[in-house]
Each structure stands twice: as structure tokens, then as C-alpha cells.
Amino acid sequence: MKACLEAEAHYLDLGGLYHKTQEQLELDEAFDEAGLTAVLGIGASPGLTNVAAARGASHLDRVDEVHIRTGAKGGGDGFAYSAKTILDELTMNPIVFEDGEYKELEPLSGRETYTMPDPVGEVEGFHSIHSELATMPYTFEGVKSVDFRVAFSPDLVNICDVLIGLNLTSEEEVEFKGTEFSPREFLDWHLDRQPKPGAVEEWKSFRVDVTGEEDGEPARYQYTVVVESRLDDWELKATAVWTGVPMGIAAELVGHGDALDTGAKPPEQLLNPEQFLDKLRKE
């Protein structure tokens, strides 16, 4: 981000797992003064989820709750994307916004079975740290509850449960053969060297529920997305498609001067939902 400021360039990224996003927001004034736009988190989630929440909020006179759920089907064995990121999502304390207050929970807590659109179907999700929580409680003034749940494959969760149980995700340094490092450092290095899943059959899905009041009556808007692998033409699995396409669309909009504001802000503050989703459908 600092390099972009020096180069007088706009900036976009795929999200900072809450704590990093909070640090990035501190550069809001610097980007604004430079007349630049920094979109913080514009993949699928965060990203599309933020745009969906903004679209729902635009219909409401008052936003009370925002609930985000994700799930997947297929994708092959192992880690669906960066093993380091997935381990962070499974081991860092999740943050939720309940009754107008932030709360820190235990990893893998709040397990819940929910149904995603076909062909994903029923999955079991749990609270996970995510950057939507760093911005939505401030974006949607007066909101009482915001939470995020993710559903990984049971096999992957079992693998991570074993790694956590063996203390291999510990950040505490140990000494081994004259070298000091943490088990987590070794694990990140080792997993990064493993073969990555190729372009396999996969479906990625999320559901965003926005509730509140409209014209004096209770109202709820629900948005769902299902993205499948593009094997024949793009040779990409769904994870890559639903992460990369939103970034490309946002980069085009920002580059054409269609961002709603300057500064370092989340997608729900910088992107026009109708304009963004119209371009998304075309892609």
C-alpha cells in the first residue's frame, strides 16, 4: 500500500483477516489526500459478500443484522487454497459482532449446519476470523449483529484438528539441531512445498442475509452465489474463478474512475452494488 502511495497508483487486495484490515484502514486519510482508491478485500469473501451486503442494506431504512455463510463441494484433496491462510482461519480466535459489541471466540466454535444452494447442499460451518467483521459494523450504522461462518470439507477440518492437537500450529519457538523456529513456521514451509490441487471439479458458494426495517416493516434480503470450475475454457477451479474475477472487475471500475470514493476502504463503501453485479453477470 505504501508503494502504491509513492507511485501514485490505486490499490486492491484480497483481504486481511480482520487484524491486518484494521491496520490498513489507518491509511485511509493518506490515500484520500492523494486522490487514490484502495479497495480492501475484493475477492469472493471478503469482496462479493461485502457487495451483496451493501445491496441488501441499500433497500433498508435500518440494518439490524448481517449473516455470512460459505460452503463448497468438490475441489480435490488437501487445502482448497493457501494452507497458511486456511490454518489462520482455523486457529486464530474468530471475531463476531453481537448485541452491538465485538466478541472474541474460540477457534472452530459456533458450529452450525446450514444449507447452501445446489449442488453444494448441506454443510457444517463454524465461526472464522474474517475481514468483513472489521468494517461492516461501522459501514452499516446501528447494526446489532454481524457474523461469518465458513464450511471446509470434513476431511480438511479433521486434518487441521490433528495438527492443532499435536501442537504443530504453535507459534512458540523451539530449538532443533542448533536452529530456532516455531512448529507453525515449519508447517507453513512444509505445506507450501506440497503439490497444489489443479483445475478440478468444484463448486463454491456463499449466502448473505441482511435483515432490518423497510417502510416501517421487518424485512430481509438474501443473496446467494454458486460458482463452478471453468475447466474447458479457463482451466481454473472455482476457488480461483470466484476470487479472481471480482478483483478484475473492481480494478476495471477503479481504473475508469467509477469508485464511489477515494481513500482506503472496504468494497461496501467503494463499489456501487448494481453496477458491480451487472458487470459480474456479464463475466
CB 75 within 8 A of CB 153: yes
Q: Which pLDDT band, with edges at 50, 70 and 90, does 153 fall under?
A: confident
Report the amino acid identity of residue 22.
Q
What's the chain's length in residues? 283
SS3 content of the chain, % helix, strand, coil (to 5): 35, 30, 35
What's the pLDDT tens digit per position in 38-77?
999 999 999 999 999 999 999 999 999 999 999 999 877 6
For residue 78, pLDDT over 80 is answered with no
CB 160 within 8 A of CB 189: no
- Within 166-283, where are the H helices? 183-192, 238-255, 267-270, 273-282
Nine cell digits for residue 112 = 452450525
Between CA 49 and CA 268 the distance in angstroms is 9
Between CA 256 and CA 250 the distance in angstroms is 10
pLDDT at 158: 84
184 φ/ψ angles, rounded to the nearest 5 degrees: -65, -40
Three-class SS of residue 57?
helix
| pTM for the whole structure | 0.92
Mean confidence (pLDDT) of the chain: 94
Residue 59, number of CB atoms within 10 A of its CB? 13
What's the pLDDT tens digit per position in 156-201?
888 888 888 899 999 999 999 999 999 999 999 998 888 776 788 9
Domains and CATH numbers, the chain: 2-272 (3.30.360.10)
Q: Which residues of 192-223 are buried (b: 16+ CB within 10 A; e: fewer)?
A: eeeeebebeebbbbbbbbbbbeeeeeebebeb
Between CA 206 and CA 210 the distance in angstroms is 13
Return the residue matching grid coordinates 453485479: 277
Of 108 and 105, the structure prediction assigns the larger pLDDT to 105
Between CA 23 and CA 204 the distance in angstroms is 29
Least confident of 25-29, 64-68, 134-138, 165-169: 165-169
CB contact set of 20 (below 8 Å; sequence gap of 6+) = 131
pLDDT at 86: 85
Mean pLDDT of 96-124: 95
